[in-house]
């Protein structure tokens, strides 16, 4: 089924995201209050359970089926020398994932999550966005659709990430176009200072080329994004509709979905920033989106690695919520006054 056959239908869906279940969240919170601990003492873990309840629309949320999706795409902007690695590495890494050899294979397995890698036209990079829109409207919608279609039925949690040489430049261009300012370009896979300056100049050139169209977040995603970034946006939208909470990976994945927060103020409420990437612009991007990352481990990999790493944290939060005794059950005295 085509989720969003036209840009107008995609825009309508993004501007009016369905709400979570406030009663389910309240029920989860009410249970937190009677468990044998001072109220609020499990901090963010308590909030995470209520968040899962709200977006799974279940008072007792579960994490039986956790799906990691890694979307892969190639970028014409690599012609500008913005990555230390050749574009061929994207397809080579997709093969490596298929053979089980990537970091995300190990991390998904360690987190008890299923992994699917979705290659998007790896033999056909996007256009170099310093000279033309990265994607045509049809290409953009197709990538969004593939992202949405990859969200499995009956999934309890989705971890979203990407593989695409050059895509931290696309992420920086998206962030700069959506939130303004300079200095969004970072080291990516390991640029030196001269390389970062060249990348920043490429971002400036892209913004100048597309200046007339940058007040529309979806046009920003089409002109400056990439196939895998559009797919992450589509998967995030589809997850919202299907009652699936989302863990976002690093800078690039966050930039990919940032248009949703500008199209609807609550457009990313069903998503958490799983970690703070070492990529320069991530902290600033999360601040702009009012998101607080769950982990800060100095990762700068992508591949949904940080998202997969946060899954055990959510499992631990649920284990407390489901497994702890209440004050009444345990015969523990409540607060004196
Ligand atoms: C071997 C290898 C494995 C990776 N896995 C993720 N990335 C990460 O690096 C790329 C973005 O960085 P840049 O914009 O500097 O090219 C993306 O593919 C991202 O997923 C990798 C990069 C490489 C080289
Ligand atoms: O934070 C990210 O998404 C990231 C950082 C470096 C390389 N690839 C991705």
Q: Does 306 fall in a domain?
A: yes
Among the options 47, 200, 279, 303, which is catalytic? 303
17 part of a folded domain: yes
Full DSSP string of 159-200 = EEEEE-TTHHHHHHHHHHHHH--S-----TTT--HHHHHHHH
What is the position in ligand 1's atom list of the atom closest to the CA of 85?
A: 24
- In degrees rounded to 5, what are phi and psi of residue 86? -70, 150
Residue 1 has pLDDT above 80, yes or no: no
First-last CA distance in the chain: 58
Cβ atoms within 10 Å, residue 171:
35
Asked if the structure places residue 100 within a domain, the reply is yes
Quote the CA–CA distance of 72 and 227 in Å, as a whole number. 8
Domain for residue 105, yes or no? Answer: yes
Q: Indicate the average pLDDT of the chain.
A: 98
Q: What distance in angstroms lies between residue 304's CA and the mean position of ligand 2's atoms?
A: 9
Q: 93 pLDDT exceeds 80?
A: yes
* Cα–Cα distances in angstroms (integers) from residue 288 to residues 197, 216, 245, 261, 325, in the given order: 23, 17, 21, 10, 39
pLDDT on residue 72: 99
Rounding to the nearest 10 degrees, give the CA dihedral for residues 216, 217, 219, 225: 160
pLDDT of residue 58: 97
Query: How confident is the model over 313-336, as a mean pLDDT?
Result: 97
Helix axes 7-15, 217-224, angle to 10 degrees: 130
Ligand 1 neighbour 83 (Cβ under 6 A): yes
User: Which of 165, 249, 251, when mutated, tests ligand 1's pocket best, judged by the most ligand atoms within 8 Å of its CB?
Assistant: 165
Q: Which of 73, 75, 82, 177 is nearest to 117 (CA)?
A: 73
Task: Indicate whether 209 belongs to any domain.
Answer: yes
- Residue range 33-59, pLDDT digits in tens: 999 999 999 999 999 999 999 999 999
Q: Please tell me the total number of residues recorded for the chain in this structure.
A: 337
Tell me if 336 is assigned to some domain.
no
pLDDT tens-digit profile of 215-245? 999 999 999 999 999 999 999 999 999 999 9
Q: What is the pLDDT of residue 3?
A: 84
Specify if 163 maps to a domain: yes
Print the domain residue range for 54: 7-330
Does residue 203 line the site of ligand 1, with CB under 6 A? no
The 10s digit of each residue's pLDDT in 153-207 is 999 999 999 999 999 999 999 999 999 999 999 999 999 999 999 999 999 999 9
Is 303 in the active site? yes
Instruction: List pocket residues of ligand 2, CB cut-off 6 Å.
Output: 168, 188-189, 249-253, 277, 279, 282, 300-302
| Ligand 1 center from residue 119 Cα (angstroms) | 15
Whichever domain contains 29, its CATH number is 3.40.50.10210
Q: Model confidence at 2, in pLDDT bands (50, 70, 90)?
A: confident
What is the distance between the alpha carbons of residues 70 and 224, in angstroms, rounded to a whole number? Answer: 20
Dig out the tokens for 57 from the structure. 């629309």
According to DSSP H, which parts of the chain are helical?
7-15, 22-34, 44-56, 88-98, 103-110, 137-149, 167-179, 193-209, 217-224, 227-242, 251-263, 282-288, 305-323, 327-330
Query: Across residues 308-315, what is the average pLDDT?
Result: 98
CA atoms within 13 A on the CB side of 202: 29
Considering its fold, how many domains does the chain have in total? 1
- Position 119 confidence tier, pLDDT thresholds 50, 70, 90: very high
Determine the distance separating the centroid of ligand 1 and the alpha carbon of 27, expressed in angstroms. 42
Residue with tokens 């056959």: 5
pLDDT above 90 covers what percent of the chain? 98
Rg (CA), the chain: 20
Whether ipTM tops 0.90, in short, is: yes
Q: Is 135's pLDDT higher than 80?
A: yes
Answer whether 216's CB lies under 8 Å from 281's CB. no
pLDDT of amino acid 108 = 99
Q: Is residue 235 part of a domain?
A: yes
């Amino acid at each position: 089924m085509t989720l969003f056959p036209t840009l107008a239908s995609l825009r309508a869906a993004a501007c009016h995201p369905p709400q979570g279940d406030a009663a389910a969240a309240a029920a989860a919170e009410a249970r937190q209050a009677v468990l044998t601990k001072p109220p609020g003492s499990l901090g963010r873990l308590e909030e995470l359970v209520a968040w899962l309840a709200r977006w799974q629309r279940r008072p007792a949320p579960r994490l039986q089926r956790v799906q990691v999706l890694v979307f892969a795409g190639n970028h014409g902007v690599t012609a500008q020398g913005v990555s230390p690695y050749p574009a061929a590495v994207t397809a080579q890494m997709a093969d490596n994932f298929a053979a089980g050899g990537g970091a995300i294979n190990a991390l998904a397995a360690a987190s008890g999550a299923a992994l699917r890698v979705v290659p998007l036209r790896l033999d056909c990079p996007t256009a170099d966005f310093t000279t033309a829109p990265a994607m045509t409207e049809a290409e953009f919608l197709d990538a969004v659709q593939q992202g949405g279609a990859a969200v499995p039925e009956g999934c309890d949690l989705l971890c979203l990430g990407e593989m695409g040489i050059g895509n931290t430049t696309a992420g920086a261009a998206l962030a700069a176009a959506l939130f303004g300012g300079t200095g969004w370009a970072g080291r990516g896979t390991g640029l030196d200072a001269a390389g970062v300056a060249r990348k920043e100049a490429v971002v400036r050139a892209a913004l100048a080329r597309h200046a007339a169209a940058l007040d529309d977040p979806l046009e920003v995603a089409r002109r400056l994004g990439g196939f895998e970034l559009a797919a992450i946006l589509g998967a995030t939208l589809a997850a919202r509709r299907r009652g699936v909470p989302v863990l976002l990976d690093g800078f690039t994945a966050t930039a990919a979905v940032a248009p949703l927060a500008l199209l609807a103020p609550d457009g990313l409420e069903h998503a958490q920033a799983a970690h703070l990437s070492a990529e320069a612009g991530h902290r600033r991007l999360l601040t702009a989106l009012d998101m607080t990352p769950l982990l800060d481990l100095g990762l700068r990999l992508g591949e949904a690695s940080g998202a997969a790493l946060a899954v055990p944290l959510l499992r631990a939060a649920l284990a407390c919520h489901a497994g702890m005794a209440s004050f009444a059950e345990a015969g523990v005295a409540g607060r004196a006054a």
